[in-house]
Amino acid sequence: MSECLRGTCAPEGPHRRVGVIERVLRIVVLTSDDVLRLVQAAVRLRGKSAAPAPPPEEETAVGAGDIASLAFGALCLLLIVLAPQITGATPDAVAAQLLHEITPVR
């Protein structure tokens, strides 16, 4: 009884079954993933020809997606720099809030 009060005993009833079902599902999913990867590797190995394929040509042109991504990043940085003027907070408060937001939860 004292073990259960400390939380070290195994749960009884439906809680125990949920844990078992979760572990079984995880094992099934991971095993099937491994099997599918092995089958995929075997198919690739069989389908390889004797002559190696020529290396793909590198794309050097800047596309619309590249420009949009860079523009969005620049806009985000500009808003971070302008945040003290926009919100009326001090730069230290904005920096502290930014650090709080990007710190991972432990």
For position 42, what pLDDT does the model report? 87
For position 11, what pLDDT does the model report? 56
What are the start-end ranges of the H helices in 2-63? 2-5, 14-47
For position 49, what pLDDT does the model report? 56
10 contact partners, CB below 8 Å, separation of at least 6: 16
**Residue-by-residue pLDDT tens, the chain, 106 positions:** 445 555 555 556 666 777 788 888 989 899 999 999 999 988 888 876 556 667 878 878 888 999 999 999 999 999 999 999 999 999 999 999 999 988 887 6
For position 43, what pLDDT does the model report? 86
Q: Is the full-model pTM beyond 0.75?
A: no
Q: In which residue are the tokens 């070290």 written?
A: 8
